[in-house]
Amino acid sequence: MIEKEPDAKTVLVVGDSLAIDLAKALDRFYASETQLAIVSKGVGSSGFVRDDYFDWNAAIDDYLTNQPFDLLVVAIGINDRQEIRAADGRHQPLTPGWRLEYERRLNLFLSKVSEAQKPVVWMGLPPMRKTSYSKAMSQISSMHRLAAFANGAEYVDIYERFVDDDGNYSSYGPDLNGQNVLMRKSDGIHLSSAGSDKVAFFIDKVVKQFYRGGEISVAVVDPLAETDVYDMLRPPFQGIAQIRKLELAGAVRELGAKSKSQELVLATKPEVMALPVDQLFAAPQGRADAFGVGEALEEPAE
């Protein structure tokens, strides 16, 4: 085993049992990287719902104070389809009251890490074998995606990496060498070692955007700063890989309005119709996880 440098940067991996497996995979992935160390703090059966069992918001306070780390990786959610207790009572899974309390806990957790100026990479949930459970996990994952966007975290969508050609759950799939191998454990929920290694590969693509030359930095340069385009209508710049201002700085105008190729649309113009943030995360129509945020709008009644 290759020894890590004394001043190696630390990637803290938190979450449920998915995080435990992911931390092992990241440890394997960075085995030869002497300046990057993985610290696993996953807790089996935990989540953001049962804070009486394990409170992740209390835990992150402790880690920020007593567990020095440079970047946070989160993999969580498979235990969260259960009743949640809020100040106004108990709420059944995915009901409006449940969503409000769950979102509050997600945003509180992420805001604490953001205020500490630590980069966050959040792993999306894969499809599950049981259809009803998979639908619930997709809705929860959509909430994770929005919370990540709102708090400047990077969200890594792995859903399509674990489906067959028809977009359905598949226990097998190509590994990092292109070989068709077992990607999931027998419970139809967890990832196999090969599946976790595959996720680690995609997590690394985002980590490498913060980790450069032995240093981890959250500094981001807006390529549109100090230009007229900077004031165009667009979502706030949240992170590097998730959404770039440059990619979203397109022409925004009223429906039916004539094109004005030489005129920029500024945020100060009240007549301009901005794209709702939730539409940015709508899953493609027909994809099995097009629930919650990705749910298509109903047709208006005749």
pTM of the full predicted structure? 0.76
For range 10-31, the mean pLDDT: 98
Q: Is the pLDDT of residue 258 over 50?
A: no
Q: What are the residue ranges of helices labelled H in 13-55?
A: 17-29
For range 115-140, the mean pLDDT: 97
* β-strands 89-91, 211-212 pairing: unpaired
CB atoms within 10 A of CB 268: 8
DSSP 8-state assignment for residue 161: G
For range 67-80, the mean pLDDT: 97
CB-based contact 81:140 (threshold 8 Å):
yes
Residue 216: the pLDDT is 87
**3-state per-residue secondary structure call for 267-301:** CCCCCCCCCCHHHHHCCCCCCCCCCHHHCCCCCCC
Tell me how far apart the alpha carbons of residues 67 and 47 are, in angstroms, rounded to a whole number.
20
Which CB contacts under 8 angstroms, 24+ apart, belong to 93-101? 93/136, 94/136, 94/139, 94/140, 94/292, 99/143
pLDDT band for position 212 (50/70/90)? confident
Q: Is the pLDDT of residue 28 over 60?
A: yes
pLDDT band for position 231 (50/70/90)? low
* Nearest CA among 91, 92, 157 for reference residue 124: 157
